[in-house]
Structures are given as C-alpha cells and as structure tokens.
Structure 1
Amino acid sequence: MARLNVNPTRMELSKLKKKLASARRGHKLLKDKRDELMRQFMNLIRENRQLRNEVEKAINEANRYMAVAGSVMQREVLETALMLPKQEVELEVNDKNVMSVYIPEFKPKFRTEDTNDIYSYGMAFTSIDLDGAVSALSAVFPMMIRLAEVEKACQLMADEIEKTRRRVNALEHIMIPDYEETIKYITMKLSENERSTTTSLMKVKEMVLKDSHHYH
C-alpha cells in the first residue's frame, strides 16, 4: 500500500471517499464480467475441442476416400474431374457483442441450393470413392466454418479476460488499498488537528478567564 500525495483536507477526504466508492463498484462489475467471460470461454473451449475432433475425423475420412480414388483413377482424369467446380461459396462476416467482446459470425452463402452441385463431374469415368471424398468434405464444411468462429472467439475472449483480470488486480491490490490508506491518513491527520485546535481553544479560554477574573 502507498499513500497518495494529497493535502490532508476535508475536501480531499470527500473526493477520495467518492473515488473509493467508485473503485469498489468498478471492481465488483469487472469481477462479474471476468467470471461471466470465463464461463462462456469454458463453454467455447469445450465446443472447440468437440468440433476439432469431429472435423479431424471427417477430414481423415475424406483423405482415405481420396487416397483410394487416386489409386484407381488416372491422375489426369482425377485432376480434370475437379478442375471446374459447379458450386461456389461466399462467406458473409458479421460480429456479435458478448460482454463487450465482438466475436465473429461467419455465414456461408452458396451459389445454388442444389446439393448435387458439389459434384463437378460426370459419374461415368470417376470412382465412387471420389464421390465419397467430395461428399465428406461437403459435410464437414459447415463444421469447419463453426470451428473457425469458435477458435477466433476463444482467442478474443482470452485477450479480454486477461485485460479484465489485470484491471481487477490493479483495483484490488493497488488503487483500493491506496485510497483506503490515504483516507485513513487524512482522517487521523484531521483528528489530530481537531484535538490540537480544541487544546488551543481551551488554553485561550483559560487565559481569557484568568485575565477577566484575575484568576491565579
């Protein structure tokens, strides 16, 4: 604790008491914010772990299909089949406010609603395993979008939690104790001044009485 460098006056005491009250309110609000951020952060961490496992599993499945397709199809035929895709996707990016943290929302927009447009080739000269690979990647795509959302949200929330934690600690361990110590000092100083003033007044009164009534 460190005492602030202020004049020990009643005006300063009143100002410090108001600042202390504001600091305590701010400390409580920031602690509540930190706790709520931590709760939502842990929920996102759990979702992130689950999504990552599902995405990795689906991509591994797609890779197995693609490996088989590559082994039964000529490389030129495989590359030609995937050269001109029918389907296109645009990503609309918005954000939402979660406890003063703006986290992204990704919304994919496909060129067509036809689910068969994921296949950019005819079925006559391609392997069924290529269909499996394309289908698996198409199915995992929404999960990959959500995983990107969650991972970015986790990163932003972790940064905000750290900032909030530092503010809470600054208030709890520095500002509030300093205000309390300074208030205590000024209160003691004013009490001493009052006692000194009272003693002086009593001495003056005694002197006046002596002079008025010729007391010895």
Structure 2
Amino acid sequence: MNQTSPTRLNLLSLKIRYGLAKDGVRMLRSKREVLVREFFVSMKDVAEVRDIIEKKLDSAFTSITLAKVFLGDALLKSTAYAYKRDIEVNIKSKNVMGVIVPEIEDVNLKRAIDARGTSPISEPYRLNEVTGKFEDVLGSIVSVASKEIRLKRLGSEIQTTSRRINALEEILIPSLTKRIKYIQRMLEEKEREGIFRLKRFKGRRKKVDMTI
C-alpha cells in the first residue's frame, strides 16, 4: 500500500478520487449494458442474413449445376467473364456509445437482363436464372459484411469496457479504500494523542496553580 502522508488534504483528495472511480464504474456499466443490447441485436441480424444467404446459395448452386448440364461449362465461364463489373456501395458510420460501426445501405445487385448488356431474346433462360440468383446472393453478402464488422467491434468494446470495470473494482477502488482507512486511522490516533497531551497539560497546569 502506498503510504500517503496522513493529512486531511490527502484524505479529501483520496475521497474525491474514490467518488470519481465509483461514478466511473456506474457509467461504464451503463455503457456496457447498451453495448450488450446492441451486440445481441446485431448477432440476431447476422444470424438471419446468414441463414438467408445459405438458402440462396443452395438454390443458386442447384441452378448452376443444371445450367452446366444443359449449356456446358464454356458458355457459363464466358458469360461470367462478360458480366464482370464494379460494385458501388454507400457506407455510413454510426456511433454506438463511442464505438464507430459501419452501416452499408441495402443494395439490390440483381439486374434486369437488358442491364447486363445482353439481349433478353438471345440469353438462355437457365443462364439468366443463374446470373440473377448469384447477383441476389452477392447483395446479401455485401449486407452481412457490415453487420459482421459491427458485431466484431461491439464485442471488442464490450471486452475493453469489462476490463476497465474490473480494473476499477478490483485494483483502484480497493487501493483507495485502504489508503483512506489508513489516513483516517492515523488522524484518529493523532487526535487521541492530542487530547491526551491536552489533558495532561491541563493537569500539570492545575497542579502548578494549586502550588502557587
């Protein structure tokens, strides 16, 4: 224990620090409660979107398997190469109790046949079906990406906040409590000694007065 000088000024300073530490714990606990709520909401969102992606992928791979049978690998590969494109997404930032998390606006990447640069007449039905399903899956993957980043950042901040709470509750506050009690005990001892000396002084003075 740090042997702080047992003065009333130091006692006041330690009590102020103790109060601030207790307030800090309360604020951090409130922050953690909000973060935990947001974490579970995000976890539910991620689970739901992942489930949707799994179902869409199952359907898309079934379609591509049939397309390979009817159209062949060569046509599928050449079509995939021809349909390559850049994807633009709008990313916004949201502040959740000091945690900056990304939010990607819902984006529909599934295009109409004519938007792909091909003729609706010349493009085989199965090829159009496969393309549409995989574009739809891609949109869901983009959507879940920001949700997973959000989930990870919230989880990380919850851990950091918990460590700070533990540091205050298990290290700082007990240390301050011991130092406060130490100073209080020393001040009480000084006060008792002072009273004792005062009584002894008065006793001696009384004897002197009686002698005179």
Q: What is the TM-score normalised by the length of structure 1?
A: 0.88
1:16 aligns with 14
Mapped partners of 1:145, 1:209: distance in 2: 94
- For 1:4, the equivalent position in structure 2 comes to 2
Secondary structure of 1:33 counterpart: helix
Partner of 2:164: 167
* Map 1:100-179 → 2, pairs under 5 A: 100-107=98-105, 115-117=112-114, 119-124=116-121, 126-179=123-176
Alpha-carbon distance in 2 for matches of 1:64, 1:85:
20
Per-residue CA distance 1:156-197 (angstroms, 9 max, x = gap): 111100000001111111111211121111111101110001
State the distance in 2 between where 1:108 and 1:85 align.
22
2: CA distance between counterparts of 1:95 and 1:104?
A: 5
User: C-alpha separation between the residues in 2 aligned to 1:133 and 1:98?
Assistant: 39
Indicate the RMSD between aligned Cα atoms, in angstroms.
2.4
| Contact residue 51 and residue 147 of structure 1 kept, 8 A | yes
**2:5 aligns to what SS in structure 1?**
coil
Identity %: 27
Q: Distance in 1 between matches of 2:25 and 2:79?
A: 62
TM-score (norm 2): 0.89
Residues 101-146 of structure 1 show CA distances to partners (whole Å, capped at 9, x for unaligned) of: 10112247789x9744554433455432221121112223332222
Q: In the aligned structure 1, how far is the partner of 2:39 from the partner of 2:191?
A: 54
Q: 2:191 aligns with which of 194, 198, 205?
A: 194
CA distance in 1, matches of 2:3, 2:54: 60
Contact 1:78 1:126 in 2 (8 A): no
In 2, the alpha carbon distance for the partners of 1:120 and 1:5 equals 80
Which runs of no fewer than 5 residues in structure 2 stay unpaired?
none
Match of 2:77 in 1: 79
CA gap 1:121/1:69 in 2 versus in 1, 3 angstroms: farther
Question: Which SS does the other structure have where 2:101 is aligned?
Answer: strand
Instruction: Please state how far the C-alpha of 1:94 moved relative to its aligned partner.
Output: 2.9
The residue type equivalent to 2:125 in the other structure is I
Q: Structure 1 117/19 Cα, relative in aligned 2: closer, same or farther at 3 Å? A: farther
Q: What corresponds to 2:210 in structure 1?
A: 213
Task: Give me the whole-angstrom Cα distance separating, in 1, the residues matched to 2:115 and 2:187.
Answer: 82
Q: Is the 8 A contact 1:4 1:179 kept in 2?
A: no
State the 1:36 CA deviation: 1.1
- Corresponding residue SS for 1:97: strand
Structure 1 pair 120–70 and aligned structure 2 pair: CA distance change class (3 A): farther
After superposition, what is the alpha-carbon deviation per residue over 1:29-87, rounded to whole angstroms, capped at 9, x for unaligned?
A: 00011111111101111111111011111012111111111111133322232332386
Q: How does 1:17-96 map to 2 (within 5 A)?
A: 17-85=15-83, 88-96=86-94
